Chain A
Amino acid sequence: MGGRGRAPVRLVRRAAADVTRRDWLAAPYVVGLTALVVLPAGLAGYLAFTDYYGFTAPEWAGLDNLGRALDDGQFWLALGNAALLALLVVPVRLALATGCALLLHRRRRGASLARVSAYLPSVIPDAAWALLWLWLLNPLYGPIALAARAVGFGSLGLLTEPWPTRLGIAAMLGLQLGESFVVALAARNLIPDRYYEMAAVEGARPWYTVRRLSLALMAPLLALLAVRDVILMLQVSFVPVLLVTDGGPRYATLTSPLDIYREAFLYGDLGYASALSLLLLVLTGLVVGLQLLLARRLRWI
């Protein structure tokens, strides 16, 4: 054995010493993460390969659940809806957040009020926001429908027709741009003033400056925001569709999280729901991986 065996031992010992020195500071987070995320996720990962209804012990079922998921039209429909929603919401939210950040980054009269109003929709609890939009989108007495009727558009089909409802939900989600806005604002404020002065001396027009300077230098953070929003849209677009549309009309807004929620808590098929969660996790990971690859290829990050 000689030296070959001892080096790893020394490495392990050094790593252990490092842990004792500073990494204890991460302990509360690690404990919380383990107890509240890693263990339940592991358990769900196990349940995905069982038949489990909550009344009797889970029974090993192998790949049956996954096989069933591949043939489950409703799951793929829900995934398609979630992807559609992401496709609508992510660009809108990113554009709004970036636009607000570029307009409101300077300390001007009224800027702080405007910043608060941009952030407000994200502070309101999801349920309250959903109830507000339930009223806004109401096809009979909601202000949008009333306004449309007043100018002769008739009923817009809000909450009754698939596409108007999808757009309504997308608007509702797209306007929750608080966190994206704050990150975009920080990204904008990280750009030194002297770059803008240079651009001014070099004769760059405003739009050229925004494109070549602001957006180009904010791109890495904006790319990460887009990735985050895609994850959010695929995984947690749940409260609004549950409270406002309940997946309707005609499954138009049934998203993956809602579908999984129904499998688990409406039909009690916890094993199958776990399998769907696992599948969703893997698919989301693939999409995010593709996004990061693209961003790197474009030298954004």
Chain B
Amino acid sequence: MTVAVEHVRCVYARRRADPLVALDGVSLAVDDGELVVVVGPSGSGKTTLLRAVAGLEPLASGRVRIGGRDVTGEPPASRRVAMVFQEYALLPHLSVFENVAFGLRARGVPADEVARAVNDAAQLLDIAGLVDRRPAELSGGQRQRVALARAMVRHPAVFLLDEPLSSLDTELRLRARAETRALQRRLGVATVYVTHDQHEAMALADRVVVLRDGRVEQEGAPADLYAEPANAFVARFLAALPMNLVPAAQVGQRGEHVVGVRPERIRLAPRDGRLTGRVIAVEPAGDDAVVHVLVGALRLLVKTSWAGRPATDDGVALTWEDADEHRFASFDGPRLT
């Protein structure tokens, strides 16, 4: 089924302060079987957006449709959504089996059907051997699987995942990420996935939605967002290393705009570049090095091979192809051309 969020506005009333606008006219569409990742810095409203779809957050205005049906104002239970909460919200006093069965039992599904559904889900997620344990006796990765099992066992129309991998360590996170993606493909359920991790967003998404301060900054396929960020914020936020931004005048261009170049597209040379500066730090990054270069008052990043790295305090020149240049109206402004 599809999900459509239309011009949704969420406001938190705060005591002795202006009301906080968590979502300010956000729209979002998720196709059947599509995985949309909502990414943004903390406080950008991404969890609020997820909760608004789930029905856990009252809307000040706007609509939410699931499968074409207007569910605005309906309680969570009647929306056919399943949610994987941050930290998973597994009930500590119930076994894995009972945790997964919670929703089915709550809806009065007969016991033999519950057992069959739970066992199927446990098989699929490879937790069949753990069904008698309690959450406290599970590892982080196992808990994540239990939470996924609970979400899928009811055959929901929509999956809502709130930072489901944030409490896992790096190696496990990579594996769980691939498994989550594979599961979602297999079940073909429309999914909204919230994360603050742009790596995760790029790796998982059919489509990425970048949120900041309760507004959508840009949405599109991961590759498109990387190739043509709609504004300087997306350019800096949605990359392994933030894009370098330099005032036009400093690179000899006319105008008030800002020039952006990705660190991985800059070449270092001893002299004769578009900019010159001094190396203030060199960080190892596997086969590569991230070089911090001070150019006037600007700190620019350059990704270079570890073998070809300069030494700290070296004077270096920076150069790049014209095609790798992005232009923005200002340090925080929209893309030009």
Contacts and interface: CB of A to CB of B under 8 A. Distances in A.
Contacts of B89: 192, 194-195, 197-198
A197 B56 contact: yes
A200 B56 contact: yes
B136 interface: no
Interface residues of A, number: 19
Contact of A216 (B51, B93, B107): B93
Nearest to A202: B103
Nearest to B153: A202
Nearest to B77: A203
B81 A201 contact: yes
A199 interface: yes
B285 interface: no
Interface stretch (A16-24, A116-124, A140-148, A204-212): A204-212
Nearest to B147: A198
Contacts of B83: 197-198, 201
Interface in B69-90: 75-78, 81-83, 85-87, 89
Contact of B93 (A192, A197, A208, A217): A217
Nearest to B56: A197
A224 interface: no
Interface size range of chain B in the complex: 20 to 34
Contacts of A201: 54-56, 76-77, 81-83, 103
B106 interface: yes
Contacts of A194: 85-87, 89
B103 A203 contact: yes
Contacts of A204: 77, 102-103, 106
B298 interface: no
A192 B88 CA distance: 12
Contacts of B154: 202-203
A213 B103 CA distance: 12
A201 B158 CA distance: 12
Residues of A contacting B: mostly: helix
A186 to B, nearest CB: 17
Interface in B21-80: 51, 54-56, 75-78
B56 A202 contact: no
Nearest to A216: B93
A201 B161 CA distance: 13
Contacts of A203: 76-78, 103, 106-107, 154
Contacts of B20: none
Contacts of B150: 202
B269 interface: no
Nearest to A217: B93
Contacts of B51: 197
Contacts, number: 70
Contacts of A198: 83, 85, 89, 91, 102
Given A194-B85, A194-B87, A208-B106, A200 B77 contact: yes
B93 to A, nearest CB: 5
A66 B150 CA distance: 60
Contacts of B106: 199, 202-205, 208, 212
Contacts of A200: 55-56, 75-77
Contacts of A197: 51, 54, 56, 76, 83, 85, 89
A117 to B, nearest CB: 25
Residue of B54, B78, B82, B106 contacting most chain A CB atoms (<10 Å): B106
Contacts of B91: 195, 198, 212-213, 216-217
A202 B89 CA distance: 12
B31 to A, nearest CB: 22
A299 B55 CA distance: 34
A1 B154 CA distance: 69
A219 B91 CA distance: 14
A192 B91 CA distance: 10
Contacts of B103: 201-204
Nearest to A299: B93
B41 to A, nearest CB: 22
Nearest to A209: B106
Interface string B79-121: 0011101110101111000000011011100000000000000
B16 to A, nearest CB: 16
A195 B110 CA distance: 24
B129 to A, nearest CB: 22
A200 B55 CA distance: 9
A216 B102 CA distance: 13
A202 B87 CA distance: 16
A121 B82 CA distance: 45
Contacts of B107: 203
Interface in B114-165: 150, 154
Given A197-B51, A197-B89, A219-B93, 5 more contacts: A192-B89, A195-B91, A198-B83, A202-B106, A203-B77
Q: Which 7 A-B pairs have the closest CB atoms?
A: A202-B103, A203-B77, A204-B106, A198-B89, A194-B89, A201-B76, A200-B76
13 contacts: A195-B91, A197-B56, A198-B91, A200-B55, A201-B77, A204-B106, A205-B106, A212-B94, A212-B102, A212-B106, A216-B94, A217-B92, A299-B93
